[in-house]
Amino acid sequence: MRSHAGLQAISLALYNSLALKAMNPKSDIFQGIESSFMRFQRSIRRHESSWQKKSQLSLLETMILRFIVLEGPQKMKDVSSKFEIKLSTLTSVIDKFERSNLLIRKQTEHDRRVVLLHASKKGKKLFESYRTLLAQMFGQLKSHLPDKQFSHFVEAVFALHFAISDALPKSDTE
């Protein structure tokens, strides 16, 4: 999450869309989205930078580690298809993980040609520490918002994800 032009632009478009504002009574809410997203995107950049200093991992690398820790051993091909990155790019990421002892490449017992990526103890521990950091943050967030509002927020984040996804050309999402 290096940069969040999209989130900023979404809010800006909502705010600046005079036609939308004229037609829709939600315009007051849209006015707040601009500043809210602008602050949020800058915070995410700071968050990634701060986490990267502690762990030496980018957000994408953290997401790959999360996928393997939570979903179990994975083939390179499945990881590359999940994150839509080239195998050559993934290979250098996995090499870095192996050098840091976060992941291990292991041949399967049934077919030694098949290699699976396993999270090491160190990898699981690192991911767990990130998850704890997030859990503390989310716990604080929950304590600041009324229960119903928190539930609405969780759903709204989901809706935002789908709106961004649906707007992408098919080749970028499949």
In the range 58-97, which residues lie near other proteins by CB under 8 A? 59-60, 63, 66, 69-70, 83-84
- Contact call for residue 145 and other proteins (CB under 8 A): yes
Residue whose tokens read 């829709």: 24
- Contact call for residue 149 and other proteins (CB under 8 A): yes
Two tokens, residue 142: 């929950």
> What are the φ and ψ backbone dihedral angles of 26, each rounded to 5 degrees?
-80, 5
Nearer to other proteins, 88 or 112 (CB): 88
- Contact call for residue 172 and other proteins (CB under 8 A): yes
DSSP string, 6-71: HHHHHHHHHHH-HHHHHH-TTHHHHHHHHHHHHHHHHHHHHHHHHHHHHHS--HHHHHHHHHHHHH
Q: Nearest distance from residue 95's CB to other proteins, in Å?
A: 21
Could you say which of 56, 81, 108, 165 contacts other proteins (CB under 8 A)? 165
Interface stretch with other proteins, choices 44-52, 73-81, 89-97, 101-109 (CB under 8 A): 44-52
From residue 30, give the alpha-carbon distance in Å to each of 13, 23, 120, 158.
Answer: 9, 13, 45, 18
Could you say which of 36, 56, 81, 108 contacts other proteins (CB under 8 A)? 36
Nearer to other proteins, 95 or 155 (CB): 155
Closest CA to 39 of 8, 9, 15: 8
Q: Nearest distance from residue 54's CB to other proteins, in Å?
A: 11
